[in-house]
């Protein structure tokens, strides 16, 4: 399962509005500091081994192996006292739970 909240969809469309052609959004795994790997987003082109999802006129790409490992994936846009941005939720298990030496500020 792959889902995109209405607010996230609005914000992605706002970000892409000045593009001549609407690019695809790739969901990828990025290495993290203390919290371990997480999902990120970037503009990209489709590849042969991608799962492709369409949502409200936006195309999302996820490598099939990653999708199987992380599904379900939900893209949200959140606002907190510290700021706002996209949040990607998935079933990926965070191993380790932190390195213990960062004091919560490593990245």
Query: Residue 57: which of 17, 88, 1, 27 has the closest Cα?
Result: 17
Cα angle 2-5-9, degrees, rounded to a multiple of 5: 100
Which domains occur in the chain, in start order? 2-89 (2.60.300.12)
Average pLDDT over residues 86-107: 61
Q: How many CA atoms lie within 13 A of 5 on its CB side?
A: 13
Residues 6+ apart with CB under 8 A from 49: 63, 64, 65
* Res. 105: pLDDT tops 80: no
Per-residue model confidence as pLDDT tens digits over 36-57: 788 999 999 999 999 999 999 9
């Amino acid at each position: 399962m792959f889902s995109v909240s209405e607010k996230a969809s609005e914000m992605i469309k706002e970000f892409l509005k000045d593009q001549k052609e609407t690019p695809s959004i790739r969901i990828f795994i990025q290495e993290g500091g203390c919290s371990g790997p997480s999902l990120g987003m970037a503009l990209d082109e489709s590849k042969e081994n991608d799962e492709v999802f369409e949502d409200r006129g936006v195309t999302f790409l996820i490598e099939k192996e990653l999708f199987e490992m992380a599904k379900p994936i939900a893209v949200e846009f959140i606002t907190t006292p510290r700021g706002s941005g996209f949040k990607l939720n998935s079933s990926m298990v965070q191993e380790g739970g932190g390195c213990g030496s960062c004091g919560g500020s490593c990245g």
